[in-house]
Structure 1
Amino acid sequence: MKIALLLGIAAISLGAAAPLPPQKVDLLIRGGTIYTGSDAPFIGDVAIKGDHIVSVSRHANVTATRIIDAKGMIVAPGFIDPHTHMGEDLASDDQAKRLIPAFLMQGVTTAFIGNDGGGDPDVTKVLGSASIKPVGINYAAWVGFGAIREKVVGEDNRAPTSEELAKMKGLVASAMCQGALGLSTGLFYAPQSFAKTEEVIALAKEAGKRGGSYDSHIRDESSYTVGLVAAIDEAIRIGREGGLPAHISHIKALGVDVQGQAPKIIAMVEAARARGEKVTANQYPWSASGTSLVASLVPLWAQDGGRPALLKRFDDPSLSEKMHAGMVENLRKRGGADKLLVVEGKYRNRYLDAVAKELNLSPVDAAIAVIRIGDPGTVSFNQSEADIAAFMRQPWVMTGSDASGGHPRVYGSFARKYDKYVKTDHVITLRQFIERSSSLTADTFGLTGRGHLRSGAFADVVVFDPKTYASRATYEDPAQLAAGVQTVVVNGVVAVDKGAMTGKAAGRALAHKPTAGSCN
């Protein structure tokens, strides 16, 4: 009796503490195989309170308002898409569109908009829209070189005056101070294609001074003008002389003239990175690109002045032969009329050779007839699987969709990359797929608190079934939601539950913070 009493007194005097009570959390994702974005996978739990993750561990000591059983599932950071054209949907008056189900049902929780030089210089308006019209995913915005050039110079093929250049630089600086990620370009497209490299560098410097990045649909992914190699070199040069990281969007070797050049392009990027330059890229996992019929076939010189001028040139006998020859050559580069699928308008889901047969015209004359009606979107089968795989294996290439209407990449890019290139073709590993779809993107573009599953991070999470996660979208039927995603959490709110949309709009506009003192 005395011994027991003495032992009890001793325990009290030594300060023996009672076990801590379990922490109370809102949501516990239990028992899944966790890929944190930076660590080797393990089976464990993700605990979420409010909009943040409070713990990622093998066994969370918590009590949860709700528990999601993730046994047999993959648990990963919400995916981040660095190249999309979803700005209109995010600002739509239609609440269902603003949820962006095509992305959420793949596990994409954050997207960039304003790519290809199209980003509105009024970044305050773009980012402020989310507070007025709630959105389903997070988004960040680029300021577009094309939007700025059209605003100041117009659509003509000429250099800006010194006053115009100063005005464009001011617009970039202002956009950066409003929260833009950086400067995006689409130098393949008129009227951006009319700009010299030095003009782009001058604007890129304004973004660089304020901590931004340079993102580019390069001047030529094929052999249209300067060629693929020269266009890659230009993008790297703009980053170097602009004093900012360079990012090559939807990296590819497009068309019969450049297929097989992936190793050469990879070597160029590797050399730049070895010099200490920050160069990265994104890629969509499809052998077909997507653009418009005009951009696919009409020579750039004929696009000077926009659509009204183009239509007049079609009717000018002195130009018709030159234009026709240029379009024949561009069609050859893309592999022929049976490789060009029209995905909008009167001839939707018809290949150009079939349209030509129906109209009893040559493929180019048929294309001109269609363009006179409008400029429909097209899908162009122009890449080799060897090039796609070579680019995909690079640790500096992240997943992107280039999401735009009429192409299955809107609804299926991330799911297809897993199903085809991880699970079936074994081009990359599951861990590589996840990290290059989340943490690589977040870290490259400074999305603090995103892209990783770790304590203190924002609670953007995807839970998917490794057996069934796949794209269901096809070229002929592109608007099919992906399969296999069980749960998606956006800022702590369950946006996809048991494989179905919940209708919750928990996304946020993500403003990039400019370099301290650069906006005074």
Structure 2
Amino acid sequence: MNIGRIGLLVGVALASISASAPPSADLILRGGTIYTGSDAPFVGDVAIKGDHIVEVSPHVARAATRVIDAHGMIVAPGFIDPHTHMGDDLTSDDPARRLIPMFLTQGVTTAFIGNDGGGEIDVGRVLDSARTRPVGINYATYTGFGTIRQRVIGEAKRAPTPQELAQMQALVASAMCQGAIGLSTGLFYAPQSFSKTDEVVALAAEAGKRGGFYDSHIRDESSYTVGLLAAIDEEIEIARAAHIPAHVSHIKALGVDVQGQAPAVIARIAGARAAGLDITASQYPWSASGSSMVASLVPLWAQDGGRKAMLARFDDPTQATRLRTDMAENMRKRGGPTKLLISEGAERNRTLAEVAAATKTDPISAAIAVIRVGDPGVISFNQSEADIAAFMRQPWVMTDSDASPGHPRVYGSFARKYAKYVVADHVLTLREMIERSSSLTADTFGLTGRGHLKAGAFADVVVFDPRRYAPRATYQQPTELAVGVQTVLVNGVLAVDGGKLTGRAAGRALPHRPPTGTCP
């Protein structure tokens, strides 16, 4: 037998073996423009097997069970949202809510919950929920200063006793050992606002000892109490004194008194970082914030003791003048009654000015009447585009949504950041937007194996059409799903396929693992 004949037979045999061998990938995303999270973009393929990526290269030669054509599309790591209020959705009894469709249709595959000091104490229960109640996205959780303080002290405006402080420290330590990613605070909100810095430091240090993070809605984003710059200084001091990485959630300059202060805030944080402190921030890409009517207008002194005590003060003629004066001042700081859009309840989609006109009264009387019925969400138009852009350009500022009901940021933050601040306004490049929405967040918070497209990483991937990716949610219609995302994988499972939700729930709880020896 000649050599040519032998070669032909060997080739046939190898082809036969290859044809009968099982595919070495379950899925290949073919021909998209790949942003890995750390490298310059290139056109190529991503191969996935099981819940991991097995190859990322200009051309993947291996066989696959399915190939998705991604030509003309952007292929990126699944986005990670470090500040949300989706805890109730993720632990809901309703499987449809637990899918978190408003995130998946933007390409968000991981979210943090428990922010603003509202995280649960029983962190183990929150994380274990995903085992019996499948979720659509991955999630990590904070334990919350507000939850802990309210359990131990209640709603009183006072310092803790030494015994109460020790009790709160123990609760933080326990939550960390159950898997909390850190301690969150909302120092703007009562009763957390009644704390002093040393109290916060004592609790944050317990998270720091166990490798956790300190995340804060700072004490003042405006000029309500200490002022924006002093609140930033407090954040830096907490990081220094508690020996903990600190994160400023939804960084902003809120209200007419502080608009234009972004450069000063940036300088303070940059200085702290240069001095060796680990300070980062996140930001939602909207000029309007979202809060409640009470938090926006009622002074902190009037919230001492909770809602019942606050309502009693409304009826106390000895306090009425002071209360109305302070509420009017807080309304001025937010730009006046035309800048406050009610997003919940009977007055939804009406500004406070419109409610006052309809009821033939003044805006403060109208606000008090609304608060007597409840505490609806309000959208407050209070930021300048110059400040937003200045914060967004910082390499230590990542993308968040602060997702809470009634605001379009739940359904459109990541899509808006692309459509407005990359495509329309050119504040960021596409690469910057993607990395600050994925790898920066994963690397900052130690989410090993996530935030990058590389062999060995978990297969959290988004594929979107750069010509169509955009939000549809508006302030008047905040629950419209974003468009333009073609494919989303969560842990290797198709959650969005051909632009449509599949209904498959492949998300996982992501418990923090404290260093050895720091937990019982």
TM bracket (short chain): over 0.9
Match of 2:183 in 1: 183
Match of 2:399 in 1: 399
* C-alpha distance in 2 between matches for 1:213 and 1:262: 24
CA offsets per residue over residues 286-343 of structure 1, 9 Å max, x none?
A: 0000000000000000000110000000000000000000000000000000000001
* One-letter identity of the residue aligned with 1:348: R
Match of 1:90 in 2: 90
Match of 1:15 in 2: none
For residue 132 of structure 1, report the CA deviation from its aligned partner: 1.2
Match of 1:473 in 2: 473
Match of 2:428 in 1: 428
For residue 193 of structure 1, report the CA deviation from its aligned partner: 0.1
Match of 1:260 in 2: 260
* One-letter identity of the residue aligned with 2:318: S
Normalised by the length of structure 1, the TM-score is 0.97
Match of 2:270 in 1: 270
Match of 1:361 in 2: 361
* One-letter identity of the residue aligned with 1:44: G
For residue 425 of structure 1, report the CA deviation from its aligned partner: 0.3
Q: Secondary structure at the match of 1:62?
A: coil
* C-alpha distance in 2 between matches for 1:445 and 1:459: 18
* C-alpha distance in 1 between matches for 2:441 and 2:24: 32
Map residues 493-504 of structure 1 onto 2, 5 A cutoff.
493-504=493-504
* C-alpha distance in 2 between matches for 1:275 and 1:391: 20
Q: Secondary structure at the match of 2:63?
A: strand
61-70 or 383-392: which moved more? 61-70
Map residues 320-331 of structure 1 onto 2, 5 A cutoff.
320-331=320-331
Match of 1:139 in 2: 139
* C-alpha distance in 1 between matches for 2:137 and 2:24: 26
Match of 2:68 in 1: 68
Map residues 11-410 of structure 1 onto 2, 5 A cutoff.
24-410=24-410
* C-alpha distance in 2 between matches for 1:151 and 1:60: 55
356-365 or 105-114: which moved more? 356-365
* One-letter identity of the residue aligned with 1:142: Y
Q: Secondary structure at the match of 1:168?
A: helix
* C-alpha distance in 2 between matches for 1:482 and 1:287: 19
* One-letter identity of the residue aligned with 1:508: R
* One-letter identity of the residue aligned with 2:124: T
Q: Secondary structure at the match of 2:470?
A: coil
CA offsets per residue over residues 25-58 of structure 1, 9 Å max, x none?
A: 1111110000000000000010000000000011
* C-alpha distance in 1 between matches for 2:66 and 2:378: 46
Match of 1:514 in 2: 514
Q: Secondary structure at the match of 2:483?
A: coil
CA offsets per residue over residues 445-480 of structure 1, 9 Å max, x none?
A: 000000000000000000000000001000000000
Normalised by the length of structure 2, the TM-score is 0.97
* One-letter identity of the residue aligned with 1:145: F
* C-alpha distance in 2 between matches for 1:25 and 1:61: 10
For residue 61 of structure 1, report the CA deviation from its aligned partner: 1.7
* C-alpha distance in 2 between matches for 1:468 and 1:236: 40
Which aligned segments of 4 or more residues in structure 1 are displaced greater than 3 angstroms?
Answer: 18-23
Match of 1:416 in 2: 416
Q: Secondary structure at the match of 2:66?
A: strand
* One-letter identity of the residue aligned with 2:344: E
For residue 261 of structure 1, report the CA deviation from its aligned partner: 0.3
Q: Secondary structure at the match of 1:208?
A: helix
Q: Secondary structure at the match of 1:72?
A: coil
CA offsets per residue over residues 249-275 of structure 1, 9 Å max, x none?
A: 000000000000000000001000000
Q: Aligned pair count?
A: 512
* One-letter identity of the residue aligned with 1:498: G
For residue 115 of structure 1, report the CA deviation from its aligned partner: 0.0
For residue 24 of structure 1, report the CA deviation from its aligned partner: 1.5
Match of 2:458 in 1: 458
Runs of 5+ unmatched residues, structure 2: none
For residue 400 of structure 1, report the CA deviation from its aligned partner: 0.1
* One-letter identity of the residue aligned with 1:249: S
* One-letter identity of the residue aligned with 1:135: V
For residue 106 of structure 1, report the CA deviation from its aligned partner: 0.1
* C-alpha distance in 1 between matches for 2:516 and 2:451: 24
Match of 2:487 in 1: 487
For residue 426 of structure 1, report the CA deviation from its aligned partner: 0.2
* C-alpha distance in 2 between matches for 1:471 and 1:140: 25
* C-alpha distance in 1 between matches for 2:119 and 2:78: 24
Q: Secondary structure at the match of 1:462?
A: strand
Q: Secondary structure at the match of 1:112?
A: strand
* C-alpha distance in 2 between matches for 1:61 and 1:166: 60
Q: Secondary structure at the match of 1:407?
A: coil
For residue 377 of structure 1, report the CA deviation from its aligned partner: 0.2
CA offsets per residue over residues 358-385 of structure 1, 9 Å max, x none?
A: 1111101100000000000000000000
CA offsets per residue over residues 362-412 of structure 1, 9 Å max, x none?
A: 101100000000000000000000000000000000000000000000000
Q: Secondary structure at the match of 1:517?
A: coil
For residue 515 of structure 1, report the CA deviation from its aligned partner: 1.4
For residue 505 of structure 1, report the CA deviation from its aligned partner: 0.3
* C-alpha distance in 2 between matches for 1:55 and 1:395: 28
CA offsets per residue over residues 133-181 of structure 1, 9 Å max, x none?
A: 1000000000000000001000010111111000000000000001100
For residue 236 of structure 1, report the CA deviation from its aligned partner: 1.0
CA RMSD after TM alignment: 1.7
* One-letter identity of the residue aligned with 2:429: T
* C-alpha distance in 2 between matches for 1:187 and 1:341: 24
* C-alpha distance in 1 between matches for 2:204 and 2:370: 37
* C-alpha distance in 2 between matches for 1:256 and 1:125: 42
* C-alpha distance in 2 between matches for 1:501 and 1:270: 41
For residue 516 of structure 1, report the CA deviation from its aligned partner: 1.7
Q: Secondary structure at the match of 2:169?
A: helix
73-82 or 59-68: which moved more? 59-68
* C-alpha distance in 2 between matches for 1:190 and 1:266: 27
* One-letter identity of the residue aligned with 1:156: A
